[in-house]
Structure 1
Amino acid sequence: MSADTESPAKPAHPPSEAGPALHLPPLLFSALAGTMAMMAYVAVIGPAARQLGLPEWVVGLSITAGGVFWMLLARWWGGISDRHGRKPVLLIGFGVFAAIYLMLAASVDLALRGQLGALALIVLLVGTRSLIGAVYAAVPPCTAALIADHTPPPERPACMAKLGTANALGMVAGPAAAGMLAAHDLSLALYGAAALPAVALLVIWFALPHSTSSATCAPDGAARPKPSVKLFDPRLRLASLTALIAMSSVAVAQVLVGFIAIDRLGLDAQAGARAAGLALATVGLALIASQQFVMRLKSVPLTRWVSTGTLIAGIGFASVALVHTQAQLLACYAVAAFGMGLVFPSFQAMAANAVHRHEQGAAAGTVSAAQGLGMVVAPLAGTLLYRIAPSLPYLLVSGLLFALALFVVLHRPLPLSSEPTSVREHP
């Protein structure tokens, strides 16, 4: 791998090639709103499915369907943003996301009122989540690529951690708000979540400068080379593998938390929604806490963050097998999330540091596609394994994380690649 995973002092391209400073608040707010919307669905859909008499696999299939389209289109969206700019792609992503989410909320509302049959609801859940996955796939690569466009490599882990903190705040606020609304009306929580991407759309439209696009990455008059990132690009192999296992672990934890709260703790549907929301909020707080370390300890090698984080997360997930109280559930999820908070900004920075400036969108899209693959496989596999034994998905996730920690320790990075002269700064 060509990224500097051993020391941030040896980036794949020199710090002077970073673009003008990026105004982060609009980008961070949009990430916050998008994560809130996505996490609200996770917190509400399990209890809603129970209330409607739908089996667990329906929830897993709906999230898996979204992951399929996320996986298929993330690289495409990243490449589009390399050619046409980040802001237009973000606007399209959030705009269509808001419209489809409103349709999803209306479908669940009609079903809860007895005006929509189970089969029609299943089709709509899978269909709308598929479309949401297809358009939301534009957001993670564009936000990560924007940061890479305007940040020198040694500073990227800290900036990615700020983006991760915004996502973590969304994980706190989204489930908490959804849980409170779901206590009164499950469909109301989804309507509220549908408004969030619309707000993000307005923020991006008015507050994100038009100049923050990949077009600024090449000097005036210089030809911008075509991105050459391949699907299985060896430069991104470790970052993509880490993204796949990390997102699979998170997806399993998200999709099963409502069922664990109901089945293991003996709660009803509404109490289960509140417990799931509280657990996911605890996850967000733990993510925020751990990402402060990545922001402040800039000299720590990225591979060390990944190996340490996966070990901690593996312990947390394995401990869920012993849970019998809500406090224990929250503690296990907090430990797992603390470890994940060290992992996510690290593999994003590894990917950004591995490629050239004109390839940032494609690289971010490749890693995002790996995350999408995790969203494809993990929810459906997790819900199927859950029917065999509730602890089995968590133990499997823990084993994968321990194996990844060992692989990262033994992994040797590829030599650094040189930057094409066509995208270097003018003397």
Structure 2
Amino acid sequence: MRAFKYLLLINSLCMAALMSFVAVVGPLVRTLGLAEWHGGLAVTIAGTLWVASSRGWGRLSDVHGRKRVLSWALLGFCSSFTVLAAYFDVVTRISLPLIGLLALLIAIRGVMGLFYAAIPVVSNAWLADNFPTDVRRAVLAKLGAANAVGMVIGPLAAGLLATHNLNLPLYFAAGLPLLAGYLLWRHVPASAVVEQGEKPTLAFADRRVRLPVAAMFLATSAVLAGQMCVGFFAMDRLALDAQAGAKVAGLAMAGVGVALILIQLVVARLHRVSPQAMIGFGSLLAAAGFAPLFLTTTPLGLIASYSVAAAGLGMVFPAAQALAANAAAAGEQGLAAGTLSAAQGAASVVSPLAFTVLYQWNWVLPYLLACALLCVLSLLAMSQTRRIKVASA
């Protein structure tokens, strides 16, 4: 399907834009004289809005159509990103009170996160609309691989542009959703809106989506444990200075992106493995990837451990998304996708602070907790697999 290829490109462009901001936010925050936690607060507020809006975006796309709502989201994401780039450009030239700098940063970054939240939700719902249940996991895995490409390309481009000007990556990134919007308008046809009967009541606790919601929350928490602690680990456990630590941390995250691309292309071909079994095995593999960090003392060991963990997590996410999509009715696909996205957003609100506090107590604790969460997820998935086998016997 030609439109599917363009939808993959749209998601890759938007992820690249988002990750471009992540790559330069630290230096920009330092340039403005803000503290590190100020940047973290802005991300937390954006995560809170992500949680609050995900199900609403999904519901809107169920009622008004996927293309229309995705167009709104891309326009809002592009506009808010442009405002964010202009904000950094202006405040580096003029003097503003600290409270004003912080309030503006939180407000603009929050709105940007609010609009971005719709993009994966509506894209997942569009895929569920246009592909039958037996191939949904494959197409969702390809969508994950497209996002992983953006995760690799975005920081790389931002790093190169930042050598000329710190604000340049933000203006570049603001143009990516604009390009994505053009591709959506030109190459993705509008789909028919599903006639709504009674208002869908799909909730977080709905039996149909309990395992996918748990998978998205627990797996995203493990991802954030790795992201939040990798730089500290490189400096503290590998005895590197800040510059060398940042370089090794960047290589580790690049390894994560490559591993995600490769594993999700493999997952797209594993049609006979059930989503429950994929979640169970993938979470165990991710835990096995984090476990060697307790003994690792070399950069290569860090990169290898993160890559193995990413491979496992790359199996969990598309399987969970496919499981929820297959369980939801036609008029609930947007709501189902929004529910899973909200679970991810909830993890992004709770986990960064929790894991960094644990790291301050003892560097082992965040990785130990990540391993424990993944083992719990594996047990939940295996338990559901067992129940299905007993019921079908």
Give me the TM-score of the superposition, normalised by structure 2.
0.89
The answer (yes or no) to whether the contact 1:60–1:383 under 8 Å persists in 2 is: no
Find out whether 1:78 has 2:58 as its counterpart.
yes
State the secondary structure of the residue aligned to 2:11: helix
State the secondary structure of the residue aligned to 1:296: coil
**Matches of 2:27 and 2:104 in 1, distance apart?**
17
**Residues 76-121 of structure 1 deviation map (CA, whole Å, 9 limit, x = unaligned):** 1101100100011111111111121222233344555574554433
Residue in 1 aligned with 2:118?
138
2:378 to 395, 405, 408: 405
One-letter amino acid of the counterpart of residue 361, structure 1? G
The answer (yes or no) to whether the contact 2:286–2:309 under 8 Å persists in 1 is: yes
Residue in 2 aligned with 1:161?
141
**Matches of 1:46 and 1:276 in 2, distance apart?**
14
Change (3 A) 1:268 1:42: same
Change (3 A) 1:69 1:390: same
1:34 to 14, 23, 46: 14
State the secondary structure of the residue aligned to 1:411: helix
1:92-111 matches, cutoff 5 A: 92-110=72-90
State the secondary structure of the residue aligned to 1:266: coil
Question: How far does residue 253 in structure 1 lie from its aligned partner after superposition?
Answer: 2.6
1:198-217 matches, cutoff 5 A: 198-210=178-190, 212-213=191-192, 215=193, 217=194
> Which runs of structure 1 show a deviation greater than 6 angstroms over 4 or more consecutive aligned residues?
none
**Matches of 2:95 and 2:137 in 1, distance apart?**
49
Residue in 1 aligned with 2:336?
363
Question: How far does residue 281 in structure 1 lie from its aligned partner after superposition?
Answer: 2.2
1:3-402 matches, cutoff 5 A: 23-50=3-30, 54-110=34-90, 115-116=95-96, 118-210=98-190, 212-213=191-192, 215=193, 217=194, 224=197, 226-261=199-234, 266-268=240-242, 274-402=247-375
**Matches of 1:387 and 1:50 in 2, distance apart?**
21
Residue in 2 aligned with 1:12?
none
Question: How far does residue 37 in structure 1 lie from its aligned partner after superposition?
Answer: 1.6
Total equivalences in the alignment: 387
State the secondary structure of the residue aligned to 2:167: helix
**Residues 249-291 of structure 1 deviation map (CA, whole Å, 9 limit, x = unaligned):** 223333444454556553446x665544433222111001111
**Matches of 1:367 and 1:309 in 2, distance apart?**
18
Question: How far does residue 129 in structure 1 lie from its aligned partner after superposition?
Answer: 2.3
Question: How far does residue 171 in structure 1 lie from its aligned partner after superposition?
Answer: 1.1
The answer (yes or no) to whether the contact 1:147–1:159 under 8 Å persists in 2 is: yes
Aligned CA RMSD, in angstroms, stands at: 2.6
Question: How far does residue 375 in structure 1 lie from its aligned partner after superposition?
Answer: 1.1
**Matches of 2:291 and 2:199 in 1, distance apart?**
44
**Matches of 1:413 and 1:93 in 2, distance apart?**
41
Question: How far does residue 412 in structure 1 lie from its aligned partner after superposition?
Answer: 5.6
**Residues 120-159 of structure 1 deviation map (CA, whole Å, 9 limit, x = unaligned):** 3333332222212211121111101100001110110101
State the secondary structure of the residue aligned to 2:200: coil
Worse-matched range after superposition: 197-206 or 257-266:
257-266
State the secondary structure of the residue aligned to 2:203: coil
The answer (yes or no) to whether the contact 2:289–2:307 under 8 Å persists in 1 is: yes
Change (3 A) 1:47 1:414: farther
Question: How far does residue 368 in structure 1 lie from its aligned partner after superposition?
Answer: 1.0
The answer (yes or no) to whether the contact 1:181–1:188 under 8 Å persists in 2 is: yes
Residue in 2 aligned with 1:8?
none
The answer (yes or no) to whether the contact 2:204–2:213 under 8 Å persists in 1 is: no
The answer (yes or no) to whether the contact 1:22–1:150 under 8 Å persists in 2 is: no
Question: How far does residue 195 in structure 1 lie from its aligned partner after superposition?
Answer: 2.0
Worse-matched range after superposition: 92-101 or 321-330:
321-330
The answer (yes or no) to whether the contact 2:69–2:122 under 8 Å persists in 1 is: yes
**Matches of 1:405 and 1:180 in 2, distance apart?**
40
Q: Any stretches of 5+ residues in structure 1 without a counterpart?
A: 1-20, 416-427
One-letter amino acid of the counterpart of residue 41, structure 1? F
Change (3 A) 1:39 1:253: farther
Change (3 A) 1:261 1:126: farther
**Matches of 1:200 and 1:281 in 2, distance apart?**
24
**Matches of 1:55 and 1:356 in 2, distance apart?**
47
One-letter amino acid of the counterpart of residue 397, structure 1? A
Question: How far does residue 28 in structure 1 lie from its aligned partner after superposition?
Answer: 0.5
Question: How far does residue 396 in structure 1 lie from its aligned partner after superposition?
Answer: 1.7
Question: How far does residue 182 in structure 1 lie from its aligned partner after superposition?
Answer: 3.2
Identify the structure with bigger relative contact order (alpha carbons < 8 Å, sequence gap 6+). 1
Worse-matched range after superposition: 288-297 or 111-120:
111-120
Residue in 1 aligned with 2:391?
none
One-letter amino acid of the counterpart of residue 347, structure 2? G
State the secondary structure of the residue aligned to 2:359: helix
**Residues 374-413 of structure 1 deviation map (CA, whole Å, 9 limit, x = unaligned):** 1111122223333333443232222211121122212368
State the secondary structure of the residue aligned to 2:240: coil
Question: How far does residue 190 in structure 1 lie from its aligned partner after superposition?
Answer: 2.6
Change (3 A) 1:321 1:62: farther
**Matches of 2:197 and 2:386 in 1, distance apart?**
28
**Matches of 2:164 and 2:2 in 1, distance apart?**
41
State the secondary structure of the residue aligned to 1:186: coil
Change (3 A) 1:53 1:414: farther
Question: How far does residue 177 in structure 1 lie from its aligned partner after superposition?
Answer: 1.6
Worse-matched range after superposition: 237-246 or 395-404:
395-404
Q: Any stretches of 5+ residues in structure 2 without a counterpart?
A: 389-393
Give me the TM-score of the superposition, normalised by structure 1.
0.83
The answer (yes or no) to whether the contact 1:168–1:288 under 8 Å persists in 2 is: yes
